[in-house]
Amino acid sequence: MEFLSSLISMPWLDYSISGLVIGSIYALMAVGLALIFGVANLINFAHGAVFTVGAYIGWTCLVGLGLPLGVTIVAVAAVSGGVGALIEWLAIRPLNRQSRIAPLLATIGVALMLDQIIHIVFSPTPRALPANIPDWRIAVGNGTIGAIDITIFATAVISAAALYAFLFRTKLGMAVRATAQDDDAAKQMGVNINAVNMTVFGIAGALGGIAGLLVGLYYNSIDPNASFQMMLKGMVAIVIGGMANVPGAIGGGLILGLIESWGIGLFGASYRNLFAFVLLLVMLLFRPNGIFARGKERAAEPMTGTFVTQTKAITLPRPLIWVLIGVAVILPMANMPYITQVMTNAYLYGLAALALTLVSGTVGLVSIGHAALVAIGAYASALLTTKGLPVSLGIVIGGAAAALIGTALAYPAFRLRGHYVAIGTLALGEIVALVILNWEGVTNGALGVFAIPPLEIFGLPLYGTKASYWFVLALMLGMAGLQVRLLKSHLGRTWKAIREDTVAAETYGVSSNYYKGLAFGFAGFTAGIAGAVTAHQWSFINYDSFNLLFSVLILTMAILGGLGNVSGAILGAILVAALPEMFRTLAEYRMLFYGAALVILIRFRPQGLLGSG
Amino acid sequence: MSLFRERAALSRRAFGRIALAAMVTTAAGAHADSPPAPVFIGVSGPVTGPHAQYGAQWKQGFDLALAKINANGGIDGRPLAYVFEDSQNDPRQTIAIAQKFIADPKIAVEVGDFSSTSSMAASPLYQRGGLVQFGFTNSHPDFTRTGDYMWSNNVPQSEEQPLVARHVVEDLGMQKIAVMYLNTDWGKTSKDLFTAAATDLGAEIVAEEAYLGDEKDFRATLVRVRDAAPDGIMLVSYYNDAALIVRQLRDLGMEQTVFAAGANSPEFVELAGEAGNGVHTAMNFAPMSPRPMVQDFVAAFEAEYGSAPSHFSAMAYDTFNLLAAVMRQYGTGRDDIRDGLGQISGLESVIFPEVSFDPETRRISNPSVTELVVMDGGYVPYSGAGQ
């Protein structure tokens, strides 16, 4: 009853205004993303980084050089447009004929590099971005809105309108739409599709940069770490508005802003992203074409089997595998605890990557929310063992919990395909992290779980550096062996059949949801064990221990090794864990090299090092 | 050579010093009669990644402290140096770094990491490896509880928040307080301790609003706060969040007195602009303190880096000075340092007039706070009602 009365007495007007203000920022971000998705059928993860580039170019012009605002806007549009075009030329065009997952990963690599360049050039500390903007404010409801709020909203609407006119009223716009529909046909009609793509990325980049500048002015603060959050919100907005629907992106942004704001009014700010991601999931499940779509225009993305690159996997010769295992077993004898620890970390990554390569590679559900499974396993075991359960049992229960809860959570997403699975799982991952943060009674909220007992099995202590290394190695090899066996059985063939053509598999009487569930269950168990062991190794975990970045890292490993490829997943894990360690001497240039290594690997080996299995 | 890696903008003086130090170390290996080998502190902290700004501020404090320590003869004639390993504030990397430091006999003591997640994941390793883990940013109440090798000079919130609550309730006269806090271990702990102390003093807490670390937009939350009709607002925030909140609060037409716990960095004044004027805060580190040690530090910092020192730089500076003092008095062995930390007392630092540790909790005893107000683009000490 109290809730109902607060619902009625809530100052809806004030919340709606604050929702529209933040919503127009999301809209501005979403317009560029929708444009790129429309043409390249790609979620540009580097769009947030372009946003940040725009903010810092704006700072350089306004504060560093003292230029007027008008000149600054032109400079920001030019530079960030150039960066956008450069992204297309460097990271997207060479991957034109590859699966969609390759350019997706390339944009992540580019985003890492751009963010790091900003860090190095401008230092990572947030800066003020003051400007001489008219200082009048209009009272609306009990609050006020100012000139900059209106500027942001107007820029979003005008740019969307201009883009709409460009796409549907000009010849180049027609070429863009033709390329989006069928690039081969467009090419045959004499459209220079490379030029078209570059133009689109340039326009989107310019818009993203201007968004960065305006948002920086609005908050009087620019921050090189804001880019990823901004990109995520823009992505939710385009899912609401319809992935490739440019005017729809405006509506999507505003709706997202309103729902967040109303949600905060009802429940508080700690739940903000929860509303955003639940909304995203609901949209994906019930209106995947966006709320502005008329009927079912593009029911599902026609990309069965094309999301993952098909190649012949490289099978490592058996003797080589045994030699490698032998080397791994005797490695701790070298008495280099640092190397041993890095490899233990790598094998824990490897366990998680094995799980991911099964669902993403073998079954074809590309997941960016894998950290959720690991987190569930870690929390289950940590909470139970701190209450007295033996560690060995905790680890098994952690695996089982991840398998059950993970499969139940992912079940609704089984009917999604391609990008939609990736976005949906990303949302799931964020939702799990936010539930862990906010469910204080069970998870201890922001304080995390402390004093988790160290690794041991039936009283045998395993927390020494060498002992835990061997334990984790054995776990990883055991699970890898099991996975190889499963893949060779009828189960493996069924999974691959579902990946290649779900409709055909269903026609042959394969209940695809059942088999997808089995895959998720097995993968959840493996990932849950990885999480549980990690928790006992660290003795302290909190909601941020397994975050979105971790999910992205695991996906990177699986793709680098070759999606679906068991030995590839392990190789990818070792590379991703070891590369940043090897670049350690580069200090602040480290992530720059890591991003570059990622882009180059994807560029020359999009099917993964060992080929997808 | 990661040891001597510096920020891109290297001052000529700093470069000369580094070159000299590099020559000294190289020479140390070559000749038997050359200066003695340096004593090394291992630092685990973020140089890249989303928390890199803090690592950069640490380095400024460390370098300034080392210049002074080594000019005064180092540790009994041996120069003091440090190895900064980039952890990106990632627990997977802090445990690898921990193994590296523990196995490296030249490391006498470890400092860091930044957050509780990354620091506490490495604590069991340092405890078992017998190397002191000195966390100077670790406010998590459990940080020093892993074992007797975990020490911290971060002010325990259990001591600081009652002081803050007294100031807020008695001096600033807040009776119906709305609290907004960062939903992290630091924010949650501080908020709980503050509300308990303020309630004891007779104030009423009319709203408690948590928010996430990457939040930029507070308008909706502020509508909630406004409708709770507080007569004062307490922010448990970092300086950049605090600046955003204060700006948006004034934009909404809210005129209440604001106390912002984390607004004690020069950047706050810049980021908050006009809206920052009149905001109250408290600091362990007070750059306007008349103590000569503080004034020397502030002057040296401004001369070297061209900006005022932040709280983190001051903490970093203090930490190296403290460890140097411990090593001079009690020796450079790993256990000497652990035992020395429990015994040292009466040491002056830029943050604390007198440093000593409670050997039970391994945290600082009896800290004090300086109450400040933001005015005309700077901080002035609080001087009674009417401000």
Q: pLDDT tens across A4-38, in order?
A: 666 677 788 888 888 888 898 899 899 999 988 88
Pull the structure tokens for residue B105. Answer: 């006999």
Alpha carbon distance A541, A535 (integer Å): 6
Work out the average pLDDT over A113-135: 83
Please count the other Cβ atoms lying within 10 Å of the Cβ belonging to residue B25.
Answer: 18
pLDDT at B11: 44
Q: pLDDT over 90 for what percent of chain B?
A: 51
Q: Which of A305-319, B57-71, B124-138, B249-263 has the lowest mean pLDDT?
A: A305-319
Find, among A282, A548, A554, the residue nearest to A433 by Cα.
A548
pLDDT interval class at A330 (50, 70, 90): very high
Q: pLDDT over 70 for what percent of chain A?
A: 95
Under a CB-based contact definition with an 8 Å cutoff, are residues A434 and A273 in contact?
Answer: yes
Q: What are residue B85's phi and psi, to 5 degrees?
A: -100, 130
pLDDT 10s digits, A391-408: 999 999 999 999 999 999
Q: How many CA atoms lie within 13 A of A172 on its CB side?
A: 12
Instruction: Closest CB to A447: pick one of B56, B123, B185.
Output: B185
Find, among A70, A22, A32, the residue nearest to A53 by Cα.
A32
Instruction: Closest CB to A588: pick one of B47, B50, B102.
Output: B47
According to the 3-state scheme, what is the secondary structure of B218-254?
CHHHHHHHHHCCCCEEEEECCHHHHHHHHHHHHHCCC
Find, among A417, A420, A443, the residue nearest to A432 by Cα.
A443
Q: Which of A579-588, B5-14, B286-295 has the lowest mean pLDDT?
A: B5-14
According to the 3-state scheme, what is the secondary structure of A464-510?
CHHHHHHHHHHHHHHHHHHHHHHHHCHHHHHHHHHHHCHHHHHHCCC
Q: Which distant-in-sequence residues (6+ apart) come within 8 Å of A544 by Cβ? A: A433, B117
Which of B60, B271, B307 would you mutate first to test chain A, the one with the most A CBs within 10 A?
B271
CA distances to A320, A396, A516 from A529, in Å: 27, 7, 20
Query: What is the ipTM, given to two decimal places?
Result: 0.85
pLDDT averaged over chain A? 86
The alpha carbon of residue B193 is apart from the nearest alpha carbon of chain A, in Å, by: 14
Which of B113, B216, B238 would you mutate first to test chain A, the one with the most A CBs within 10 A?
B216
- CB contact under 8 Å between B215 and A538, yes or no, is no
pLDDT at B67: 94
pLDDT at A404: 96
Alpha carbon distance A166, B4 (integer Å): 54
pLDDT averaged over chain B? 86
Looking at domain B157-283+370-381, its CATH superfamily turns out to be: Response regulator (3.40.50.2300)
CATH of domain B2-155+292-355: 3.40.50.2300
- CB contact under 8 Å between A130 and B273, yes or no, is yes
Chain A residue closest to B216 (CA)? A219
Q: pLDDT over 90 for what percent of chain A?
A: 35
pLDDT 10s digits, A521-573: 999 999 999 999 999 998 889 888 888 888 988 988 888 888 889 999 999 99
Domain positions in chain B: 2-155+292-355, 157-283+370-381
Pull the structure tokens for residue A254. Answer: 């505003």
pLDDT at B13: 46
pLDDT 10s digits, A225-251: 888 888 989 999 999 998 888 888 999
pLDDT at A300: 46
Is 80 exceeded by the pLDDT of residue A107? yes
pLDDT 10s digits, A256-280: 999 999 999 888 888 888 888 998 8
Work out the average pLDDT over B322-345: 94
pLDDT at A588: 67
Torsion of CA B153, B155, B158, B159, to 10 degrees: 110
Pull the structure tokens for residue B326. Answer: 């411990």
Q: How long is chain A? A: 613
CA distances to A346, A484, A522, A558 from A354, in Å: 12, 10, 10, 8
Written as one letter, the residue type at A158 is I
pLDDT at B33: 55
Written as one letter, the residue type at B130 is G
The alpha carbon of residue A146 is apart from the nearest alpha carbon of chain B, in Å, by: 8
Does B2-155+292-355 match B157-283+370-381 in CATH topology? yes
Q: What are residue B179's phi and psi, to 5 degrees?
A: -110, 130
Start-to-end CA span in chain A (Å):
56
Is 90 exceeded by the pLDDT of residue B180? yes
Alpha carbon distance B28, B13 (integer Å): 22
Please count the other Cβ atoms lying within 10 Å of the Cβ belonging to residue A299.
Answer: 9
Under a CB-based contact definition with an 8 Å cutoff, are residues B209 and B224 in contact?
Answer: yes
DSSP one-letter string for A374-395: HHHHHHHHHHHHHTT--HHHHH
H or E segment and range at residue B39: strand B39-45
Structural domains in chain A, CATH included, are: 24-123+144-286 (1.10.3470), 348-547 (no CATH)
pLDDT at B371: 87
Instruction: Closest CB to A437: pick one of B56, B103, B183.
Output: B183
Is 70 exceeded by the pLDDT of residue A307? no
pLDDT at B133: 96
The burial of A216, by beta-carbon neighbours within 10 Å (0-12 exposed, 13-18 middle, 19 or more buried), is given as buried
